[in-house]
């Protein structure tokens, strides 16, 4: 049982934005109608030496990821080595801020920590235009508009700390 839990944890996005997105919440049943994520909490994420540069950039409205200097593969979450080829030569790169919903769930209740008692919110994996997938929230979205493949664009939600949370909202042309 313990090993199975460990495997599950290893498979999910543990990147700097994942915990701040409320990933511990339980998913409720889908219902229809209403606007979701208009007033989502913006908890201060854990910031350490490895993630400080990432979070500082968010306060400037920039989303960073890492790309391998050796094989060219982009990596999410950002880290100091390439999980594709093992190279230690990686560079920061700025994402365009565009992407598409890869998968999503609507958390109706059961949010934990700062999300306890929050209004329903959307927890999603967004595939960035650069090809990486990050766990995040979809905000300010009509329930009925949510779908896999929906084009989204980034918004930054200011926290009380030295970080802003990268979230996404439907692209409105
Ligand atoms: Zn590589």
Summarised one tens digit per residue, pLDDT across range 5-25 is 333 333 456 677 777 787 654
pLDDT at residue 166 tops 60: yes
Residue 99 alpha carbon to ligand 1 centre in Å: 23
Alpha carbon distances (Å) from 96 to 49, 90, 117, 146: 25, 19, 33, 22
39 touches 122 (CB < 8 A): no
Please, what is the Cα angle at 102 between 98 and 103, to 5 degrees? 130
For the full predicted model, state whether its pTM sits above 0.85: no
Beta bridge partners of 98: 153
Ligand 1 centroid vs 126 CA: distance in angstroms? 22
Q: What is the distance in A from the centroid of ligand 1 to the CA of 70?
A: 5
What is the residue extent of each domain of the chain?
15-170
Alpha-carbon distance of 121 to 105, in angstroms, equals: 9
Distance from residue 75's CA to the centre of ligand 1 (Å)? 9
Tokens of 124: 């999603």
The CA 81 to ligand 1 mean position distance, Å, reads 8
Taking alpha carbons only, the member of 16, 21, 82 closest to residue 50 is 16
In whole angstroms, give the CA distance from residue 154 to residue 62. 9
- Whether residue 108 is predicted with pLDDT greater than 90 in this model: the reply is no
Nearest Cα to Cα of residue 99 among 50, 137, 152, 59: 152
Token code pair at residue 83: 């999980």
pLDDT class of 27 with cuts at 50, 70, 90 = very low
Residue 88 CA to ligand 1 centre (angstroms): 8
Tell me: the pLDDT tens digits for 45-73? Answer: 999 998 999 999 999 999 999 999 999 99
CA of 128 to the centre of ligand 1 (A): 19
- What's the rounded mean pLDDT across residues 123-151? 96
């Amino acid at each position: 049982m313990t090993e199975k839990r460990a495997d599950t944890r290893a498979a999910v996005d543990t990147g700097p934005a994942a915990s701040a997105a409320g990933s511990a919440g339980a998913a409720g049943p889908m219902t229809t109608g209403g606007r979701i994520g208009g007033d989502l909490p913006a908890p201060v994420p854990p910031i350490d030496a490895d993630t400080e540069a990432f979070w500082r950039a968010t306060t400037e409205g920039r989303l960073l990821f890492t790309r391998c200097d050796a094989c060219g593969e982009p990596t999410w979450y950002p880290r100091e080595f390439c999980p594709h080829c093992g190279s230690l030569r990686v560079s920061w790169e700025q994402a365009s801020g565009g992407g598409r919903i890869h998968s999503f769930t609507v958390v109706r209740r059961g949010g934990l920590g700062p999300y306890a008692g929050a209004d329903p919110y959307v927890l999603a994996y967004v595939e960035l235009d650069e090809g990486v997938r990050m766990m995040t929230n979809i905000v300010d979205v009509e329930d009925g508009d949510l779908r896999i493949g929906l084009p989204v664009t980034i918004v930054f939600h200011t926290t009380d700390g030295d970080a802003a949370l990268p979230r996404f909202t439907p692209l409105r042309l």
